[in-house]
């Protein structure tokens, strides 16, 4: 069993554990919060999860061949992948914005809620990348 086989065998499990840890941080922060967490604070994690799903819908084979005049599957896959990364990084930026808001507003959610949101989005992004790189091409 080579290193690629080990990555293919254990990568999806590792990705699932990282994804679960991201959501665990968020659930912990919401449960332990002294005040009600507004629904707006949930959106970065939801969109990060959606983005991870989006870029795992792209096959690696679709990205191999490229022609600047191609308007077929390769172009659509690259556009979809670009959109998925834009959504994931915007959700990460949104969670950082929520962290700043939580640290500045005295009556809002705690700073831990903001930190947990950033950790959640970061870990979801990492888990999606781990899963995408560890998928077998078969």
Q: Are 48 and 122 in contact (CB under 8 A)?
A: no
What are 17-59's pLDDT values in tens digits? 999 999 999 999 999 988 889 999 999 999 999 999 998 888 7
pLDDT value, residue 70? 63
Distance, in Å, from the CA atom of 13 to the CA atom of 30, rounded to the nearest integer, reads 26
What are 52-99's pLDDT values in tens digits? 999 888 877 766 766 666 666 667 888 888 999 999 999 999 999 999
For the beta carbon of residue 127, count every other beta carbon within 10 angstroms. 25
* Alpha-carbon dihedral 108, 112, 34, 47, rounded to 10 degrees: 70
pTM of the model: 0.86
- Helix, strand, coil share (%) of the chain residues, nearest 5: 80, 0, 20
H helix or E strand, kind and range, residue 102? helix 73-104
């Amino acid at each position: 069993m080579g290193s690629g086989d080990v990555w293919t065998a254990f990568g999806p499990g590792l990705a699932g554990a990282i994804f679960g840890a991201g959501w665990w941080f968020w659930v912990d922060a919401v449960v332990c919060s002294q005040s009600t967490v507004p629904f707006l604070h949930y959106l970065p994690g939801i969109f990060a999860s959606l983005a991870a799903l989006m870029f795992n819908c792209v096959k690696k084979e679709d990205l191999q061949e490229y022609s600047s005049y191609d308007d077929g599957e390769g172009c659509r896959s690259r556009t979809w992948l670009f959109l998925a990364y834009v959504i994931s990084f915007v959700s990460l930026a949104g969670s950082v914005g929520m962290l700043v808001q939580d640290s500045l507003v005295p009556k809002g959610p705690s700073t831990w809620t903001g930190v947990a949101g950033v950790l959640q989005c970061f870990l979801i992004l990492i888990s999606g990348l781990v899963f995408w790189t560890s998928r077998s091409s078969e």
